[in-house]
Homo-oligomer: A and B are copies of this chain.
Amino acid sequence: MVATIKDVAKEAKVSIATVSHVLNHTRYVSPELVERVNSAIEKLNYYPNMLVGGLRSKQTYSIGLVLPSISNETFGKLAETIQKLLLIENYNLIVCNTSNDYDLEISALNTLIMKSVDAIIIIPSTHNAEKIVEVQNRGIPVILVDRDIEDLDASRVKVDYKKATYNAVNYLIDNGHTEIGYIDRAKELSHSMEQRDGYLSALKDANIEINPKNYIRCEGYDYLDGVNAIQQLIKKNPMLSAVLAYYDVIALGAIRGAVDAGYSVPDDLSVIGCDNMPFTSALVPRLTTINFPIEEISKAVIDLVMMALNNSKEKKNIIVDGKLIVRDSVTKPRVSNRGL
């Protein structure tokens, strides 16, 4: 039915070894034979089966990508960028969603093991390194992205969230804000700790007292969670003049919630988001946000993957900057509370 290497060999009147070598440029073949093989391939419409390559304990040219969700625009874009770069190197991507669920993460990892992927890129959903270590022990290199797992001997690419958040809060302080809220994620992940760290350090360095009423944790990733969070925050501290959200969609919800509560944004409430998602620059007001440098991260990931694929045992830590994108959602507070 579908042509195999045997058919090509027969058609070209050569051995299958010759066909294989023509396909892979893996030893000298005389021009005439190359020509005959290529015609046969074309005539029979032959495509080599990539899976068997993997059988001979070689590469499968598949890379696994495990992440919480690709329907999140940021992660979707990341997946797409990584895929495009990988394609250049002739690798394919098998994407697995975990929905931030550890069991799903394990089953994703198991699937990728069974699919004999050459490497796994993962945005982990927990701190649990056990399964990842098992994967590594099978000889599959693992690259960690965006979120960290301590004590794991793996290459990583991360955003310097502490610095990014520190800068963002500082920007609010420079604008005269002192009652600065922070909407944090409910789940305790490495980057949340870093971000919180940046928030607290910035306040501390500016000698602003830390007010627990300005801090809230937010359950989900839907804008309604942001609506809810900001309204609670406002209730707890009516003096609140600025707020930082861990995710642009939450910031969007915060704006919506503030508007619904009769606030004007940014005049009554300045808002900063995180991720620089495409829609943020179109909002009214345009959202000031922390950039998530997708291209830079993707390139770094590819570098690390290729390094691992070249059997380098070396591990590398790449840190990228999350710059503040200044737009229109931050102004000076109506009445400066500084010193009150």
Contact = CB atoms under 8 A, between A and B. Distances in A.
Given A51-B54, A51-B116, A256-B284, 18 more contacts: A1-B139, A2-B138, A2-B139, A47-B113, A49-B54, A50-B116, A51-B60, A51-B115, A70-B76, A70-B80, A71-B80, A71-B81, A76-B76, A83-B95, A84-B97, A92-B94, A249-B279, A252-B279
A278 interface: yes
Interface in A295-331: none
A110 B47 contact: yes
A55 B139 CA distance: 23
A186 interface: no
A48 to B, nearest CB: 6
A149 interface: no
Interface in A62-97: 62, 69-73, 76-77, 79-81, 83-84, 92-97
Interface of A: 1-2, 45, 47-52, 54-55, 60, 62, 69-73, 76-77, 79-81, 83-84, 92-97, 110-111, 113-116, 134, 138-139, 222-223, 227, 249, 252-253, 255-256, 259, 278-279, 281-284
25 contacts: A45-B134, A47-B110, A49-B54, A49-B55, A49-B116, A51-B51, A51-B54, A51-B55, A55-B55, A62-B94, A62-B115, A70-B80, A71-B76, A71-B79, A71-B81, A72-B76, A73-B76, A76-B76, A92-B111, A92-B115, A93-B94, A95-B95, A223-B281, A252-B282, A283-B283
B282 A284 contact: no
- What number of copies of this chain does the assembly contain? 2
Given A77-B71, A284-B255, A278 B223 contact: yes
Contacts of A114: 47-50
Nearest to A49: B116
A284 B281 contact: no
Nearest to A277: B279
Residue among A72, A92, A134, A139 having the largest count of chain B Cβ atoms under 10 Å? A92
Contacts of A113: 47
Given A1-B139, A259-B284, A50 B278 contact: no
